[in-house]
Amino acid sequence: MATPLENWVEEQAMLTEPKRIWWCDGSEEEAHRIIEIGMNEEKIGNHPIFHKLNQTAYPFGYLHRSHPTDVARTEHLTYVCHSEGTLAGPNNNWMDPGEAKELLTGLTKGCMKGRTMYVLPYMMGHPDSPYAKACVQLTDVSYVAISMRIMTRMGKKVTEKIGKREDFFKGLHSVGEFDPNRRFIMHFPGEHFVWSIGSGYGGNALLGKKCFSLRIASWQGLKEGWLAEHMVIIGIEDPDGNITYLAAAMPSACGKTNLAMLESTLPGYKVWTLGDDIAWLNVGPDGRLWAINPEIGLFGVAPGTSMKTNPNMMRTLKAGKFFPVLFTNAALNLDTNEPWWEGMEGEVPGNLSDWQGNPWENSNGNKAAHPNSRFTVSIEHVSTLSKEFKNPKGVPISAILIGGRRSQLIPLVVEGFNWQHGVFIGASNGSETTAAALHKIGVLRRDPMAMLPFCGYNMGHYFGHWLNMGEKLASPPRIFSVNWFRMDENGEFIWPGFGENIRALKWIVDRVHGRVGARETPVGLVPHLKDLELDGMNLSEERLEKLFEIHPRAWDDEVLGIEKFFEQFGQTMPEMMWGALRTLKANL
Ligand code: GTP
Ligand code: SPV
Ligand code: MN
């Protein structure tokens, strides 16, 4: 008798009408075969799905060029279809589930004609972890099949694990015609189901990532008492060999991957990588907050990545072995057949094709690589991978960092007075927008806990859930705000960032272990400048002070912005958040 999984796949095939169904086993050999198909049979416009790169410089490396209108997440086409709109909240687009299904059925009918339907069974989380979830995604493009193999624990074992169960997470994906007018990313939290059509890009198409591990999982976390967060997980080893684990939330393209791969400029300190984008946080039996990374790959922003900013990543990209390394919408050096992007060290190559495959002319600020061009690479290839990565229990978190891009106002590092105040800092987080989603770039928007586009339910309830989590923790982590992006009057970053961020992290670790004091300000606790380890850094006293400047009058606008943002949530906004805002106002 057919299993529920087989029945479900069969039903989707009746709807989408693929020419064949391919059950993926997740093997390396299979990845090679699928890549061959992507090079020889599947196309987007005139381009094959994969272009084989110089295999000496980039073993197992391939370039992918997406459809030109399909280069980032599309938040305005992303919906969370709860039974009631109020459950989705002002932070989500909402459609009635019945209506959404009718619409998508129309768009999906026969959409895989002439194509292969890849069946991808995958696990989010270590299979032995009590927190792991079994999932299945269907897709009709080799790029997504290969990306999912790099990003998730994909393979036959998951099919066996699902067996006759019905409670696996379902994702139906088709690139359709890549038509932005026929593109939707629809979530059905009540049914553990995501239905995505019309895009092959990142978070729109790799359904295990933002769709499942954040939007659907955050809703599950609300009901079951845990958190699904847009966070890095790292361990910081101090000169005594003690490792302190941190989680850090930052909006898209605001530095998570770089933080996860940080190479310390402080002697004796070392950062261990556990995750660069998503953390599932549970209260452990010991009353501490434990984190696992449900993914096993990194989908990172290429521009700005260089031997100077992120040498660890540059090496990782050249270490492809069991898993392919994909470059999406990077430029191509036609002389060497290597990928290239803005911000890579060395001279700009003379013979480049741009991200769409056209000859590149270096004029009018024309970028060769797309600003949201990315690489997809296995975390197994990262030389700083923590030995705890494979521990199904995860790691205990001592501090949570919340950051964003703020060219003004927000100090380099600030500690919340307590868990509740930390939640307020997170809830009022803002950031200047980037190319990771299609919208105007560089505009300040509120992005609480970096989850605005990813929280699968009303954020008023989300803040309440965070406050409740604090109650359940015997020793809640300390919460800090960080900002690597403050600028001077010439528009230059004051703080050098990247490897030097270890100096802010060291202060955070010192706070966690009670080694240093702090200075109280209206916005939180900031370092005594003498406690910052700045040796070997070229930063004048004046610029250092600028990084921590708090102008009460400049904060007035911020307070107004937060107030306006909070108001949208009406009755669902916990009173404690309003209380914290009133206290901030009074203290300023
Ligand atoms: P998503 O994958 O979209 O979630 O992004 P992310 O948060 O992982 O951001 P990532 O680390 O990829 O960095 C995005 C951009 O910010 C890149 O161009 C980096 O070079 C740049 N960046 C990262 N860290 C720093 C920093 O400390 N200082 C400065 N100035 N730029 C940084
Ligand atoms: C982000 O935008 O936060 C990303 C890239 O990590 S995507 O997978 O497209 O969501
Ligand atoms: Mn992200």
- How high is the mean pLDDT in each 10-residue block of the chain (588 residues)? 96 98 97 98 95 98 98 97 98 98 98 98 96 97 98 96 96 97 97 98 98 98 98 98 98 97 98 98 97 98 97 97 96 98 95 97 90 98 98 98 96 98 98 90 95 98 98 97 96 97 98 98 97 95 96 92 98 98 96
Q: How far is residue 519's CA from residue 468's CA, in Å, rounded to a whole number?
A: 28
Q: How far is residue 586's CA from residue 322's CA, in Å, rounded to a whole number?
A: 57
How distant, in Å, are the alpha carbons of 154, 238, 294, 445, 459 from that of 126? 11, 27, 7, 35, 28
Closest by CA to 21, choosing from 120, 158, 104, is: 120
User: Ligand 2 in contact with 375 (CB < 6 A)?
Assistant: no
* DSSP string across 256-276: HHHHHT---SSTT-EEEEEES
User: Ligand 2 in contact with 256 (CB < 6 A)?
Assistant: no
Residue nearest to atom 2 of ligand 1 (CA): 300
Q: How high is the pLDDT of residue 554?
A: 87
Could you give the count of Cα atoms lying within 13 Å of 458 in the half-sphere of its Cβ? 19
Ligand 1 binding residues, C-beta < 6 A: 250, 252-258, 276-277, 300-301, 303-305, 309, 436, 484-485, 493, 497-498, 501
What distance in angstroms lies between residue 277's CA and the mean position of ligand 2's atoms?
8
Q: How far is residue 42's CA from residue 24's CA, in Å, rounded to a whole number?
A: 17
User: Ligand 2 in contact with 210 (CB < 6 A)?
Assistant: yes
Query: Domain 299-381 in CATH: superfamily?
Result: Phosphoenolpyruvate Carboxykinase, domain 2 (2.170.8.10)
Instruction: Tokens 């990084």: give the residue.
Output: 547
Q: Domain ranges for the chain, please list them.
A: 4-45+73-225, 228-297+388-587, 299-381
Residue nearest to atom 19 of ligand 1 (CA): 304
47 forms bridges with which residues in the sheet?
A: 44
Q: Which of 144, 210, 433 to mutate to test the pocket of ligand 2 (most atoms within 8 A of CB)?
A: 210
- Helix (H) / strand (E) containing 216: none
User: Ligand 2 in contact with 374 (CB < 6 A)?
Assistant: no
Report CA Rg, the chain.
23
Task: Please write down the long-range contacts of 98-102, taking CB distance under 8 Å and 24 or more positions apart.
Answer: 100/184, 100/186, 100/188, 100/195, 101/188, 101/195
What distance in angstroms lies between residue 405's CA and the mean position of ligand 1's atoms?
10
Q: Cβ of 348: how many Cβ atoms within 10 Å?
A: 13
User: Ligand 2 in contact with 463 (CB < 6 A)?
Assistant: no
Closest ligand, as measured to the CA of 250 = 1
Q: Which residues surround ligand 3, an ion (CB under 5 A)?
A: 252, 277
How distant, in Å, are the alpha carbons of 139, 155, 428, 439, 558 from that of 445? 33, 39, 10, 11, 11
Q: Cβ of 59: how many Cβ atoms within 10 Å?
A: 16
How distant, in Å, are the alpha carbons of 55, 306, 343, 351 from that of 347? 22, 12, 10, 12
Amino acid letter, residue 223: K
Of the candidates 24, 135, 254, 455, the residue annotated as catalytic is: 254
Q: How far is residue 74's CA from residue 453's CA, in Å, rounded to a whole number?
A: 10
Residue nearest to atom 7 of ligand 2 (CA): 203
The alpha carbon of 445 is separated from its chain's Cα centroid by a whole number of angstroms, namely: 17
33 is written with which tokens?
């075969």
Q: Which CATH class is domain 4-45+73-225?
A: alpha beta
Annotation says 211 is catalytic: no
Q: Which of 277, 298, 301, 445 to mutate to test the pocket of ligand 2 (most atoms within 8 A of CB)?
A: 277
User: Ligand 2 in contact with 252 (CB < 6 A)?
Assistant: yes
| Angle, CA of 397, 420 and 242, to the nearest 5° | 20
The CA dihedral of 180, 182, 183, 184, to the nearest 10 degrees, is 150
The pTM of the whole model exceeds 0.75: yes
What distance in angstroms lies between residue 493's CA and the mean position of ligand 1's atoms?
13
Phi, psi of 52 (to 5 degrees): -75, 125
Report yes or no: 208 and 148 within 8 Å, Cβ to Cβ: yes
| Angle, CA of 489, 490 and 493, to the nearest 5° | 90
Q: How far is residue 97's CA from residue 85's CA, in Å, rounded to a whole number?
A: 10
Q: How far is residue 179's CA from residue 440's CA, in Å, rounded to a whole number?
A: 21
Query: Is domain 228-297+388-587 annotated with CATH 3.30.470.30?
Result: no
3-state secondary structure string across 416-472:
CCCHHHHHHHHHCCEEECCCCECCCCCCEEECHHHCCCCCCCCHHHHHHHHHHHHHH
What distance in angstroms lies between residue 134's CA and the mean position of ligand 2's atoms?
21
Q: How high is the pLDDT of residue 123?
A: 98
Strand 227-229 with 524-526, pairing: unpaired
Extended beta strands in 147-229, E state: 153-154, 169-174, 184-188, 193-197, 227-229
What distance in angstroms lies between residue 256's CA and the mean position of ligand 1's atoms?
6
Helices (H), 473-551: 502-512, 541-547
Q: How high is the pLDDT of residue 430?
A: 97
